Structure 1
Amino acid sequence: MGRGPNLNTSDSEKHNSKLGAPSLTLLVLHRKKHQKRLSAPSHWLLDKLSGAYAPRPSPGPHKLRDCMPLIVFIRNRLKYALNSRETKAIVMQRLIKVDGKVRTDTTYPAGFMDVISIEKTGENFRLVYDTKGRFTVHRITAEEAEYKLAKVKRVQLGKNGIPFLVLHDARTIRYPDPAIKVNDTVKIDLSTGKISEFIRFDTAVIAMATGGRNMGRVGVITHRERHDGGFNIVHIKDAMDNSFATRETNVFVIGNEKPWISLPKGKGVKLSIAEERDRRRAYAIAGH
């Protein structure tokens, strides 16, 4: 019997090996540059039938699943542009600022607590979640646009023993107040980039859930549960005296007795389906 063909090696690989070219397995190690529309994050609120692809966020301070590209915010939310070409014309005029810095990348990843400013129209927005876990177009005043809140993710010593902390938006701040610990919230002055105040992560403070099924809900921390080898649980009670629990990593402190930021419509109180129905009916009756 004759020797059969080698099924493990394709003709193209044989040809490349003769020419001394690299194998095909070495040519696929590059960053993905495309994002299919169906697999895009649902909180972008993109419809399925407007194309096969969605804008892929550039590498930046926020993760792909936790951010919103500027093109989605400008074109799909604010309706200031009809297509990608018009959006690029807007950002290339240096009209859009994120946290006080001009951004000319249409796919720059803006994330939770970021301040987006449009000087030409005098508008300022802060990216926060609604009770359904979606980024909402939340307009803020010029005074509130001068600062942002950030959660402390890591505190450690760097080179030459210099203390520094890392925030949820990838900022690194050297020589912080020694009293600031992990999970605390700091208030950042966007003009200087320095910490002006901070809030301890403790009971009786106001917090927002930034992950899980309760994303976007706001309430007062009642107590915390520690689970060694597992996830620490935080219990929160909202303004309607409804209690819910979430992981400690999903809790973002936003104030002591009062929130340090203005909250979107609903004030972080999640309504049941029946309550939402009754509210819609009341609005409809009042409108007539």
Structure 2
Amino acid sequence: MARGPKKHLKRVAAPKHWMLDKLTGVFAPRPSTGPHKLRECLPLIIFLRNRLKYALISIDKTGENFRLIYDTKGRFAVHRITPEEAKYKLCKVRKIFVGTKGIPHLVTHDARTIRYPDPLIKVNDTIQIDLETGKITEFIKFDTGNLCMVTGGANLGRIGVITNRERHPGSFDVVHVKDANGNSFATRLSNIFVIGKGNKAWISLPRGKGIRLTIAEERDKRLAAKQSSG
């Protein structure tokens, strides 16, 4: 017999990209129900206490702006952005439909519903939304040659240019991507989030620019940094 939604979350069952220590307690903060899935969000208490290291009860207004973005290891990275960039956000188009009285509607990945969108906007395109007005200011087509970020799967957090799209009727479409180092990889269409036209991103990128290094490349990079500092 169902007794309503779960209101707790065990620490061992929390998403690994929250980077919680298993030995510091039994339970973890459970995110409030909202537009994002539990495994695609970060509770505010973890963001403030674990990432920003704020342990005070009251926090003065700092005027700082951050964007949560995946790194190449699949973890949430706290990326500092400028006040100009904080005025807008990018949203992936999930669905387009015609509502009552023939009014066209658009639904984004964060559950926004926008009426009367540009008729050129299609599913899987990316729109730029002004956070003050909630209106669409620009959009990027899902086309080959555009910059994208992978938001799921084994290549989570990688950034590259779309090179090809394989259509598989009755199954998952596959998109091939090439990063700035020339490495190619493939993922499902549902994992692709377009973030720029051509090679120019519409948002600032975290350190590493979404390029995944091999274990040997990471080792060489650490040794080079150690030698230069020493």
For Structure 1 versus Structure 2, the TM-score category normalised by the shorter chain is over 0.9
CA distance in 1, matches of 2:227, 2:127: 44
CA distance in 2, matches of 1:140, 1:33: 33
Q: Which runs of 4+ in 1 moved over 2 A?
A: none
User: Hey, what does 2:98 align to over in structure 1?
Assistant: 157
Q: Where does 1:129-148 land on structure 2 (aligned, <5 Å)?
A: 129-148=70-89
Query: How much does 1:287 deviate?
Result: 1.1
CA distance in 2, matches of 1:259, 1:251: 14
Q: Does 1:277 align with 2:219?
A: yes
5+ residue gaps in structure 1? 1-24, 96-119
SS of alignment partner, residue 38 of structure 1: helix
The Cα offsets for residues 181-203 of structure 1, whole Å up to 9 and x where unpaired, read as 00000000011110000000010
Q: Does 1:35 align with 2:9?
A: yes
User: Hey, what does 1:74 align to over in structure 2?
Assistant: 48
User: Hey, what does 1:57 align to over in structure 2?
Assistant: 31
User: Hey, what does 1:264 align to over in structure 2?
Assistant: 206
CA distance in 2, matches of 1:81, 1:223: 47
Tell me which of 223, 230, 233 is aligned to 2:164: 223
SS of alignment partner, residue 224 of structure 1: strand
CA distance in 2, matches of 1:191, 1:31: 33
Query: How much does 1:149 deviate?
Result: 0.3
5+ residue gaps in structure 2? none
The Cα offsets for residues 196-250 of structure 1, whole Å up to 9 and x where unpaired, read as 0000001000000000010110011001100011110000000000000000000
SS of alignment partner, residue 30 of structure 2: coil
Q: Which of the two has higher C-alpha Rg?
A: 1
Aligned letter for 2:83?
A: A
User: Hey, what does 2:132 align to over in structure 1?
Assistant: 191
CA distance in 1, matches of 2:188, 2:46: 29
Q: CA RMSD in A?
A: 1.0
Query: How much does 1:58 deviate?
Result: 0.5
Aligned letter for 2:6?
A: K
Q: Does 1:123 align with 2:64?
A: yes
Number of residue pairs aligned between Structure 1 and Structure 2: 229
CA distance in 1, matches of 2:228, 2:64: 30
CA distance in 2, matches of 1:68, 1:185: 22
User: Normalization by structure 2: what TM-score?
Assistant: 0.97
Query: How much does 1:29 deviate?
Result: 2.1
Q: Does 1:172 align with 2:113?
A: yes
CA distance in 1, matches of 2:154, 2:190: 13
Percent of aligned positions that are identical: 67
* Greater relative contact order (Cα < 8 A, sep 6+): 2
Q: Does 1:240 align with 2:193?
A: no
Aligned letter for 1:146?
A: K
CA distance in 2, matches of 1:179, 1:223: 21
CA distance in 2, matches of 1:39, 1:283: 36
